[in-house]
């Protein structure tokens, strides 16, 4: 006659794929899912923190008010989309170029690749402090370098006309290595047969890149862009 411990063991074995991730799933549900769900629910209510009245359901009225009647919100969304296009576009192009470079064999490749990923592992606080000092209009090294090559100084983050591009430059500097690593992993997994066939057909390096490398690397680039966007 099977014992209770034996039945419990068989049950645990059958449901192991659910039991092992259950604590992590529960933790994520409590820490992340519940606050997000509660925030969404509260956004559908009319409620004022200074009022003692209970909140009442108004549906999507708050969203309509912000999206259709708030000019500052619309401007903020437009600037965010523009910033994302500029930063992620530059990161993708530079990251792919760096991946193509580091996919080749040359002396010092390992050292240069290690140095290239250092911006990605730096803390945001350290990056912020460094670039605040670099972007200072009169004491920063950025304007000093511009003066060395004979260019006029910028106000960088001190002007509304250049602040977005200055911040985009920081974002590109920090996160281009992530695009590079994902693209480099994709390049390492590409088959050699299409390149050998292209070489026999007399295809140039540029045509091989455009018609072989880029199409085969597209899934990795899509993942990289989704991570950054």
Residues 158 and 213 in one domain: yes
Helix or strand or coil: residue 56?
strand
Residues 58 and 87 in one domain: no
Structure-block tokens of residue 218 = 């597209």
Residues 188 and 136 in one domain: yes
Query: 35: domain range?
Result: 4-65
Residues 179 and 89 in one domain: yes
Q: Predicted confidence band at 194 (pLDDT cuts at 50, 70, 90)?
A: confident
Q: Predicted confidence band at 7 (pLDDT cuts at 50, 70, 90)?
A: low
C-alpha pair distances (Å), 218 with each of 187, 190, 207: 11, 11, 16
Q: What is the pLDDT of residue 15?
A: 67
Residues 60 and 76 in one domain: no
Q: Predicted confidence band at 5 (pLDDT cuts at 50, 70, 90)?
A: low
Residues 31 and 136 in one domain: no
Nearest Cα to Cα of residue 158 among 130, 135, 174: 135
Q: pLDDT: is 88 or 194 the higher one?
A: 88
Residues 198 and 123 in one domain: yes
Q: What is the pLDDT of residue 225?
A: 92
45 pLDDT higher than 80: yes
Domains contained in the chain, number:
2
Q: What digits encode the pLDDT tens for the residues 55-72?
A: 888 888 888 888 888 888
Residues 117 and 191 in one domain: yes
Residues 132 and 157 in one domain: yes
Q: Predicted confidence band at 3 (pLDDT cuts at 50, 70, 90)?
A: low
Residues 98 and 190 in one domain: yes
Q: What digits encode the pLDDT tens for the residues 109-151?
A: 889 999 999 999 888 899 999 999 999 988 889 999 999 998 8
Residues 206 and 161 in one domain: yes
For the chain, what percent of residues have pLDDT higher than 90?
41
How much is the average pLDDT of 38-61? Answer: 82
Q: What is the pLDDT of residue 138?
A: 87
What would you report as the CA-atom Rg of the chain, rounded to the nearest whole angstrom?
26
Residues 88 and 201 in one domain: yes
CATH of the domain at 192: 1.10.3720.10
Cβ-based neighbours of 86, under 8 Å, separated by 6 or more = 164, 165, 168
Q: What is the pLDDT of residue 69?
A: 83
37 pLDDT higher than 70: yes
Q: What is the pLDDT of residue 1?
A: 44
């Amino acid at each position: 006659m099977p014992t209770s411990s034996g039945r419990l063991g068989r049950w645990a074995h059958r449901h192991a794929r659910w039991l092992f991730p259950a604590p992590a799933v529960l933790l994520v549900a409590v820490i992340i899912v519940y606050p997000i769900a509660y925030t969404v629910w509260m956004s559908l209510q009319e409620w004022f923190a200074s009022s003692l009245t209970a909140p009442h359901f108004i549906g999507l009225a708050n969203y309509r008010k912000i999206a259709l009647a708030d000019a500052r919100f619309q401007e903020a969304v437009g600037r965010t989309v523009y910033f994302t296009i500029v930063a992620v576009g530059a990161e993708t192009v530079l990251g792919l170029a760096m991946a193509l470079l580091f996919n080749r064999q040359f002396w010092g490749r390992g050292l240069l690749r290690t140095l290239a990923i250092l911006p990605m592992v730096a803390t945001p606080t350290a990056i912020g402090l460094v670039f605040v000092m670099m972007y200072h209009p009169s004491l920063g090294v950025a304007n000093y370098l511009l003066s060395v090559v004979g260019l006029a100084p910028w106000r960088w983050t001190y002007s509304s006309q250049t602040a977005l591009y200055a911040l985009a430059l920081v974002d590109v500097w920090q996160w281009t290595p992530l695009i590079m690593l994902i693209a480099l992993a994709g390049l390492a997994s590409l088959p050699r047969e299409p390149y050998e066939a292209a070489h026999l057909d007399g295809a140039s390096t540029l045509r091989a890149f455009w018609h072989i490398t880029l199409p085969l690397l597209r899934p990795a680039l899509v993942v990289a862009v989704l991570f950054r966007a």
